[in-house]
Chain A
Amino acid sequence: MEKILVGLKRVVDYNVRVRVKSDGSGVETDGVKMSINPFDEIALEEALRIKERGEAAVVIVISVGRADAQQQLRTGLAMGADRAVLVESEESVDPLSVARIFKSIIDRDSIDLVLLGKQAIDNDNSQTGPMLAAIWGKPQATFASRIDLDGDKAKVTREVDAGLEVIDISLPAVITVDLRLNEARYVKLPDIMKAKKKPLESIPLADLGVAPCPKIKELSFEAPAERERGIMVDDVAGLVTALKDKGLV
């Protein structure tokens, strides 16, 4: 295969304890560490391994968002991607529009395989992959924990609620990845320097001519109900008594 496209979303780092803004308009992001969505990092790692095995020629990373997402794309280039595309939008972009944006780049660049994270850890939507596969009219393999490529076919092991499901798909296709697919590499300093010279193309969203779609409005954010701190017991006997008191055993 020739080209793999990998989506990289800029999200609040997974170690950050997220807090809701007091006016309910969103969550605090000022001065908060931002990173590549961890699932997307795994998707990129897989793409790079496929390329390093000689099964693909080019790995392209793409992000949709504000100009500061260039940081995450540069990290992707430092990991080993060949070039990057940033589709710039000041407004947050809904999953169906992201899928349509990816589709327009797929058509323009003749992509053979799209690798995405199974969900982004900010909105936890878990939608873009299947939406892209739908409008592209191609197979999808979500929650992948193993991908075996064989020419224009792939055998994908999916982590599903009942266990591990294996499916065969033909390429082109969209695969969304789960945590146990691989462990992403660390970026080395010389690679960061090299990445500065790799091409990063910025395209204003309006230039793509992507059809608008009905948006789901975000009305307000609130903090979740807190669980109250309970009691501590001294030993197993105390635990058994506490469970009996609550009628649980």
Chain B
Amino acid sequence: MSKNLIIAEHDGSRLSPSVAKVVACAASIDGAEIDVAVFASAAGPVAEQAAALESVSRVLTIERAENEHAIAAILAPQIVALASGYSYVFGPSSTFGKDLMPRVAALLGVNQVSDIMSVVGSHTFKRPVYAGSAILTVEVPSDSIVVATVRIASYTAVNDGNSATIESVDATADLPSHTQFVELLSGATDRPDLQTATRVVAGGRAFGSEENFELVYKLADKLGAGVGASRAAVDAGYVSNETQVGQTGKIIAPELYIAIGISGAIQHLTGIKDAGTIVAINKDEEAPIFEVADIGLVADLFSAVPELTDALE
């Protein structure tokens, strides 16, 4: 029996889809018993969504006003208070988890495993390094608690249909007041979330302007796809930061990824290597994106993309 604690990522009303994938990772450990901790000002709907996930034994809610926003310095000491008795503490390898879990690990006096892509044994894991150019197998000391983030693109979400018990628990800790949430400026749209979309259309610097990026949106909307971008397109200001795909942006695994006007630097490719089918449209036939594309088309995007959008029913 190994007791696993998963820290739920959520926005106050909706459980992040990353959690079902972290549960899948935790469930691949032999004899795993999985609890999900929901830190919130009011955990209600989020706790219910977590309780519905298969393989979850219990959902623990820790409700206090300070937990309204996910601030690492506030959550970490509470997680430490909760962690005794657990063999594993997992979070997603999202900006939420990357911000929080190292702080938890340091307070527990242990190193952290980042970006688990597979579980080899109870304390042995595989993870990508060098932008995915190498896969490293690591071993955590067997007498040590495992604190880790899970590379969510490597896992398929567990199903819904469970009804785990929900318990309110105390995680008493002195909370600092040195960090205050001010606001979240979100480019949220009605389009599917980039990290969980089954189809993604992404554009690069070749679009040349924010206005021209409209071509990406039109194709994405035709396909019901999420929208992504290369770092170059984000740096150039064509599109907002949360669309960036790659080593320093989001790591995604859609069934269909259409890369348009993206040359395919290694830092970008590491973000899409788990995609089902990669389609590349690029004017430059030497572009490295074609080395990984399942379907490649050498063409000018300004004619090809509208034509493709029109051709799709």
A residues apposed to B, CB below 8 Å: 12, 14, 17-20, 27, 39, 94-96, 99, 118-119, 121-135, 137-143, 145, 155, 158-170, 173, 178-180, 213-224, 227, 229-240, 242-243, 246, 248-249
Q: Please classify how large the interface on chain B is, using the bins under 10, 10 to 19, 20 to 34, 35 or more.
A: 35 or more
Q: Which residues of B contact A135 (CB under 8 A)?
A: 106-107
Among B106, B113, B124, B187, residue most surrounded by chain A Cβ atoms (within 10 Å)? B106
A162–B181 Cα gap in the complex (Å)?
Answer: 14
**Cβ-defined contact, B141 with A140, below 8 A:** no
**Cβ-defined contact, B98 with A126, below 8 A:** yes
The A-contacting residues of B in range 99-153, CB under 8 angstroms, are: 99-107, 109-115, 124, 128-141, 144
Q: How far, in Å, is A35 (CB) from chain B's closest CB?
A: 14
Find A248's partner among B103, B114, B130, B256 (CB 8 Å cutoff). B256
**Cβ-defined contact, B141 with A215, below 8 A:** yes
Find B114's partner among A125, A137, A217, A236 (CB 8 Å cutoff). A125
**Cβ-defined contact, B195 with A161, below 8 A:** yes
- Among B23-31, B37-45, B163-171, B295-303, the stretch that binds chain A is B295-303
Q: How far, in Å, is B222 (CB) from chain A's closest CB?
A: 9
Q: Which residues of B contact A163 (CB under 8 A)?
A: 184-188, 240-242
Q: Which residues of B contact A94 (CB under 8 A)?
A: 111
**Cβ-defined contact, B130 with A124, below 8 A:** yes
Given contacts A139-B73, A158-B95, A232-B290, could you give 15 more A-B pairs where the C-beta distance is less than 8 Å? A12-B130, A96-B105, A163-B184, A163-B187, A163-B242, A164-B240, A166-B182, A166-B184, A167-B179, A169-B178, A222-B137, A227-B278, A229-B292, A231-B294, A232-B298
**Cβ-defined contact, A134 with B182, below 8 A:** no
- Among B49-57, B209-217, B247-255, the stretch that binds chain A is B247-255
Could you list 10 examples of A-B contacts with CB < 8 Å? A124-B129, A158-B95, A165-B181, A219-B139, A223-B135, A224-B132, A229-B291, A230-B294, A235-B297, A236-B304
Q: Which residues of A contact B266 (CB under 8 A)?
A: 17
Q: Which residues of B contact A133 (CB under 8 A)?
A: 72-73, 103
**Cβ-defined contact, B179 with A139, below 8 A:** yes
Q: Which residues of B contact A217 (CB under 8 A)?
A: 138-141
A179–B242 Cα gap in the complex (Å)?
Answer: 13
Q: How far, in Å, is B99 (CB) from chain A's closest CB?
A: 5
**Cβ-defined contact, B141 with A214, below 8 A:** yes
A170–B188 Cα gap in the complex (Å)?
Answer: 29
Nearest-neighbor residue (CB-CB) of A221 within chain B: B134
Q: How far, in Å, is A82 (CB) from chain B's closest CB?
A: 27
A166–B181 Cα gap in the complex (Å)?
Answer: 7
Q: Which residues of B contact A233 (CB under 8 A)?
A: 295-297
**Cβ-defined contact, A123 with B179, below 8 A:** no
Q: Which residues of B contact A132 (CB under 8 A)?
A: 106
A249–B290 Cα gap in the complex (Å)?
Answer: 21
Is B206 an interface residue, CB under 8 A from the partner?
A: no
**Cβ-defined contact, A243 with B137, below 8 A:** no
Among B11, B112, B181, residue most surrounded by chain A Cβ atoms (within 10 Å)? B112
A249–B185 Cα gap in the complex (Å)?
Answer: 34
A238–B297 Cα gap in the complex (Å)?
Answer: 9
A229–B280 Cα gap in the complex (Å)?
Answer: 12
A95–B149 Cα gap in the complex (Å)?
Answer: 15
Given A124-B129, A135-B106, A160-B95, also A236-B139 (CB < 8 A):
no
Interface of A, secondary structure class, is mixed
Is B71 an interface residue, CB under 8 A from the partner?
A: yes
Q: Which residues of A contact B100 (CB under 8 A)?
A: 130
**Cβ-defined contact, A179 with B248, below 8 A:** yes
Is B36 an interface residue, CB under 8 A from the partner?
A: no
**Cβ-defined contact, B133 with A224, below 8 A:** yes
A249–B192 Cα gap in the complex (Å)?
Answer: 17
Q: Which residues of A contact B273 (CB under 8 A)?
A: 224, 227
Q: How far, in Å, is B234 (CB) from chain A's closest CB?
A: 7
Is B180 an interface residue, CB under 8 A from the partner?
A: yes
**Cβ-defined contact, B106 with A130, below 8 A:** yes
- Give B221-254 as 1s and 0s: 1 = Cβ < 8 Å from A's Cβ atoms: 0010000000100110000111000011010000
Q: How far, in Å, is A223 (CB) from chain B's closest CB?
A: 7
Is B183 an interface residue, CB under 8 A from the partner?
A: yes
Nearest-neighbor residue (CB-CB) of B275 within chain A: A227
Q: Which residues of B contact A178 (CB under 8 A)?
A: 248
A231–B294 Cα gap in the complex (Å)?
Answer: 6
Is B96 an interface residue, CB under 8 A from the partner?
A: yes
Given A134-B102, A180-B235, also A124-B115 (CB < 8 A):
yes
Q: How far, in Å, is B11 (CB) from chain A's closest CB?
A: 7
Is B15 an interface residue, CB under 8 A from the partner?
A: no
Find B134's partner among A145, A179, A224, A249 (CB 8 Å cutoff). A224
A44–B230 Cα gap in the complex (Å)?
Answer: 25
Q: Which residues of A contact B162 (CB under 8 A)?
A: none
**Cβ-defined contact, B95 with A159, below 8 A:** yes
**Cβ-defined contact, B73 with A216, below 8 A:** no
Is B267 an interface residue, CB under 8 A from the partner?
A: yes
**Cβ-defined contact, A219 with B133, below 8 A:** no
For the complex of A and B, list the 6 residue pairs with the smallest distance between their C-beta atoms, beginning with the closest: A230-B294, A163-B186, A131-B106, A134-B106, A130-B102, A127-B102
